[in-house]
Structure 1
Amino acid sequence: MRRNLIDWTDIEASVKRHMESRPGWIPLVIEVLETIKEHADFTGDQPPNIVEIKQKLGGLRIYTDPSPDHVLSVLERAEIKAESTCEICGNAARVQDFYGYLACRCSWCAHDLIDERRGVHSPEPYILNQRLPEVDRDLCCTECGYFGQRVQAWNETRCPVCIMNDWLLKMASNLVSIQSQILQKAEDPAAEAVKYTVVYGHDFTFRHEVFKVTGHMRADDLLERCAHEVRVAIEGDSDD
């Protein structure tokens, strides 16, 4: 009998110790092992020996010594669920092909891995899933190749990360400053007007905008609203 990786009296600590590099899958494994432990306690059986927990071909694998079918069935359900769970953050994900290295990552964590591997394992630009069948190509980001998550808005065919990176690049190259000022309306104390000035572009173009908000709007909501207005302004200028 091979060594058991799991201390059945402290499942959580055992799983965390063996899955440090894939924290997104930790809750899945803890849940499935607790289910197995509860069944064993109820029937009086010994829990199985868990001899290996690993990632293989982008999927979760949990190996045991010879075990009853009900144990294998529960483990299989966890492995299937892991196929749509990011191994890093636990977000919704799909298995992606990083030039032969398969990993189940959401678009955000996929880009983290792209940054780690770019220039070492592939030429520029780094395009994922190059071995996918042509029929699946229309589900890939046209910039990075991420499969299964595209934004269908503003005529975009890219993943959310590529869109956000492009927007941040525009912000960095165009936006100089935002200055805001809250103008109290004496006739209506419950309503305020926020006036802000956006300075952007190499020619230091100024925009003066005013919009009304309720007196209950939080400061971070106000900043988010301002950021949205700035994005719309920049995108509008880029279309001209």
Structure 2
Amino acid sequence: MNDELERSLLSKYPAIFGEYTGSISRSTYCNVECGDGWHNLLDTLCHDIQAYVDAEHVQQVTFIQVKEKFGQLRIYYNLVDKYVDDLIKEAERQSRSICEYCGNVGSYQKTSSGWIQTVCPDCR
């Protein structure tokens, strides 16, 4: 994810991503290792998770790793909570129909080189 989009998530959801001090080398936060096209999906997911944590007074959810794996969004985090599990599983499922690069409707497919990715026809 480009730096501007990643910083927007880090600044909106510091409790989820960890501390971002303005300097990548001095920060202790979770990197977002996926394409720009999943930014809105992650933004919505983080909003929903933080709203749940705040409303229900449950333990703060903290992301450990956010990345693309086997053509879909993959999120590793610190908490076992059915509601949060369901939110994350749904976002991961949705990522299989959103182009990782541009955010348009995409399809989950194997490339000619054997990799699996979710892309739209324009980004293919």
Q: TM-score, normalised by structure 1?
A: 0.39
2:83 paired with 1:70 = yes
Deviation at 1:43, TM superposition (A): 1.4
How far 1:21 sits from its partner (Å)? 4.9
Pick from 95, 100, 106 the counterpart of residue 82 of structure 1: 95
Match of 2:50 in 1: 37
Larger Cα-atom Rg? 1
Asked if 1:105 corresponds to 2:119, the answer is: yes
**Over residues 198-224 of structure 1, what are the superposed CA-to-partner deviations in whole Å (9 max), with x where a residue is unaligned?**
xxxxxxxxxxxxxxxxxxxxxxxxxxx
3-state SS of 1:30 partner: helix
Unaligned runs of 5+ residues in structure 1 are 1-5, 111-240
Cα 1:72/1:30, change in 2 over 3 Å? same
Query: Any idea what SS the aligned residue of 2:75 has?
Result: strand
Unaligned 5+ segments in structure 2 are 1-8, 18-29
* TM-score (ref. length: structure 2): 0.72
- The 5 A counterparts of 1:6-21 are 10-11=12-13, 18-19=31-32, 21=34
- Pick 1 or 2: higher relative contact order, CA cutoff 8 A, min separation 6: 2
The count of residues paired between Structure 1 and Structure 2 equals 101
- 1 CA distance for matches of 2:82 and 2:48? 14
The root-mean-square deviation of aligned C-alpha atoms, in Å, is: 2.2
* Runs of 4+ residues deviating >3 angstroms: 17-21
Change (3 A) 1:66 1:39: closer
Instruction: Tell me the percent identity.
Output: 27
